[in-house]
Structure 1
Amino acid sequence: MNASSVELAFGPGDVRLGLEARSWRDAVDQAGALLVSRGATTAGYTRRMLEVIETYGPYMVVAPGVALVHAKPGSDVRHNGAVILTFPDGVDFGHRRFDPVRAVVGIAVRRPDEHVTIIAAIARLLDSDGTIDALLSATDADALARGVAERLAEAGIAVDAPDAPHTA
């Protein structure tokens, strides 16, 4: 799959900063609810994200303070989408090295080939100098969304910012 042919819905309305979560399940539920409210998935996708972590453990905690939550493509994904939520107090996902998680990046992807392409692009983004610090210290959702969208576009992902305004 050529990355430039992969589209991802992501914009300011897909970012929520300064949230609280009682547990990793609560944090994943919040990411899933935002994916649902943005039209990317149905509630079934959120259940599948939770099941993946319950089955395989906290492997989705991919960097210090950052979890990249997702499930395999399925009929409960309406379109490719991403969300970012921050939890300043941190959430314990059970990862020995990278807890507490202060940012959850949730993704939903329709097709397996696009799934690999988008996860790889986000992983490269997170591996870039300063990206994690910027993510964890963000105070402006619009600026964070613009910066992430620009970096994904540089990686060849066609980012489509939905029109819905940022609400929190």
Structure 2
Amino acid sequence: MSLYDLIGPEGIVITSESNLSVDSAIDLACSTLISNDKVEPRYVEAIKQQHKAIGPYYVLAPKIAMPHARPEDGVNESALQLTVFQSGVNFESEDNGDVYLSITLAAKDSNSHINTIMALSELFQNDGDINALINAHEKANIIDVLKRY
């Protein structure tokens, strides 16, 4: 199963919005998960609450974020959402700067997403593919990259 299988065409968002607040960016990064009933609204609130409590724990590296909460916080079905923030978002990460690529993780339980995390790790280590995702203006370009992982 590729990353694309967990995201699907409806799970890709490309936005040129600028000056997004942290909460607005998290809402956008979870929007298709909510609209497709993959997660409950309380899942998004859990991510926001964790951010307020401990900071941007989900900003993994320069330009890359992986927002997530616990399965019991409202995951209905394991899924991912990929969001490209063309203007970048300041998630308040002093070490990593603005985020341009967000992959929101919704895992149904603590074990089933191990292969997904491995595939994401492989993707995150490939600067060429990360830059291709960040610079994509069409979903087709993103889908081509995701199908390799």
Q: TM-score, normalised by structure 2?
A: 0.86
CA distance in structure 1 between the partners assigned to 2:16 and 2:10 by the alignment: 15
**Is residue 24 of structure 2 the alignment partner of residue 20 of structure 1?**
no
Which whole-Å deviations, capped at 9, do the CAs of 1:14-58 have from their partners, x for residues lacking one? 111124252121111112222111221111111111112222211
2:60 is matched by which residue type in structure 1? V
CA-based RMSD: 2.0
Residues 11 and 80 in structure 2, CA contact (< 8 A), matched pair in contact too: yes
The residue aligned with 1:71 is 69
Note the residue ranges of structure 2 that are not aligned, 5 or more in a row.
Answer: none
| Residues paired across the two proteins, number | 146
Q: Tell me the secondary structure at the aligned position of residue 98 of structure 1.
A: coil
The residue aligned with 1:99 is 97
Once the two structures are TM-superposed, the CA of residue 102 in structure 1 deviates from its matched residue by 1.3
Note the residue ranges of structure 1 that are not aligned, 5 or more in a row.
Answer: 152-168
Once the two structures are TM-superposed, the CA of residue 134 in structure 1 deviates from its matched residue by 1.2
Once the two structures are TM-superposed, the CA of residue 75 in structure 1 deviates from its matched residue by 5.9
**Is residue 112 of structure 2 the alignment partner of residue 114 of structure 1?**
yes
Once the two structures are TM-superposed, the CA of residue 116 in structure 1 deviates from its matched residue by 4.2
TM-aligned CA distance change 1:17 to 1:113, over 3 Å = same
CA distance in structure 2 between the partners assigned to 1:42 and 1:76 by the alignment: 5
TM-aligned CA distance change 1:75 to 1:59, over 3 Å = closer
Which whole-Å deviations, capped at 9, do the CAs of 1:79-101 have from their partners, x for residues lacking one? 11111111111111111232111
The residue aligned with 2:56 is 58
**Is residue 116 of structure 2 the alignment partner of residue 124 of structure 1?**
no
1:50 is matched by which residue type in structure 2? K
The residue aligned with 1:9 is 6
Pairing partner for 1:86 from 71, 84, 87: 84
CA distance in structure 1 between the partners assigned to 2:79 and 2:134 by the alignment: 21
Q: Tell me the secondary structure at the aligned position of residue 72 of structure 2.
A: coil
Q: State percent identity of aligned pairs.
A: 26
Once the two structures are TM-superposed, the CA of residue 137 in structure 1 deviates from its matched residue by 0.7
Q: TM-score, normalised by structure 1?
A: 0.77
Q: Tell me the secondary structure at the aligned position of residue 74 of structure 1.
A: helix
CA distance in structure 1 between the partners assigned to 2:122 and 2:132 by the alignment: 15
1:86 is matched by which residue type in structure 2? V
